[in-house]
Amino acid sequence: MELNMRSSRLSNGLRICTSQMPHVDSVAIGMWVGVGGRYETTRMSGASHFIEHLLFKGTKNRSAKAISQAIEGRGGYFNAFTQEESTCYYARVSSQHATHIYQILCDMYRNPLFASADINKERGVIIEELMMYRDQPQHYIQDMLGELLWAGHPLGRPLIGTPDNILRMTKADILAYKNRHYLPSNTVVVFAGNVDHDTCVAMVDRSLGRVRVKRVPNYSPVTKKTKQKDVAALSKDIEQSHLALGFRLFGRNDRNKYALKLMSVILGENMSSRLFQVVREKHGLAYSVHSSAQLFSDTGVFDIQAGVDRKKTGKALQLILRELVKMREKPVGTSELKRAKDYAVGQLKIGLESTISQMMWAGENQVSYGRFVQPDEVVRKIQRITPEDIQRLARQKLTRSNVSAALIRPDDEQESLALLRTELEVLRR
């Protein structure tokens, strides 16, 4: 599968990417900025996410209501998200409205109003969002795990920030942060759908080609000196125990990332996975148990999360750890590896059928790698992975010294910490 993608760069460094899909009527447009949570100082933690909210509150030319009516009134959809290393604002509309909707996204990017009243109102909205996540153990435990994996580092802080930070940031702080980080040299505009590349380049050049060049800020790298903590526990009056294990890894350019993907599929990415079959189907200890991997420029994490019967937390943890040890000790079978490859390849191809997904693919590739990575390239590298590759990765990374674990349940926190430390010892063997 090869996507019809092209890219161009303006003289100020801004990139324009297109993925042409002439058989569809819609267009997905994404404004990608290479800034996220790990660029923030301790004092400005949460600023990237705060700005994401504020860009929807109106510009010098359009009110918040006018923005939403202009997009949704044409049958379109728009949204945004903040990650550790990037922020994206995007919309999907029919191709006849693409030029107008791009102009709105560009206006949001260039001319946000940042009215004091909106900033103060949005503080409350973000704090309510933060509290909502704290009330959802399956979300909150991920913040706990991040604080363990990258202790004292920006990657270990919640993207949303803290209530104190949100209340403390001034309009001047927010505006200065935006001006330092929203730059042409770290911005990518992506169009996917029924578009013409040269027309898109000309349109972006007219609106953003004269934006002044500035130096792109750096972020703090993760090194061997970046501390990783052991375990954490929180006592909370909930019906389930929520467990998360995280193994600190390499960055996105490491050649082992394809073996990592297949190891994750085999262990916990679908209903055929080992963890699902053992923990849920065989023993009935969980409704949800899954694994995933997230890679940044210089580090990453392989994590396992489960919501389990709170009276059988220890048993569930033992079963999960047993599967990790088995992954280290015995190569994956031929048929199981083939199923994992077929699943990974199938999900990749199915996931690229829409304009939104191709816009996301192009944007992520340009922000992360500075180039397009064709799906066929990924497929070829997945198909080359052997059982020995996966076993070697498991032996290197699924170790006691490399794991952090968090647990939320109603029991005493010291008992939970002791449980985690005791059961994790099996990874030393």
Those residues whose C-beta lies under 8 Å from the C-beta of residue 247, and which sit 6 or more positions away, are 301, 302, 303, 397, 398, 399, 402, 403, 404
Q: How far apart are the first and last CA of the chain?
A: 43
> In what order do the strands lie in the sheet containing 403-409?
231-235, 403-409, 240-249, 300-309, 286-295
Point out the residues that are catalytic.
52
Asked if residue 48 lies in contact with residue 35, where contact means CB atoms within 8 angstroms, the answer is yes
Asked if residue 85 lies in contact with residue 297, where contact means CB atoms within 8 angstroms, the answer is yes
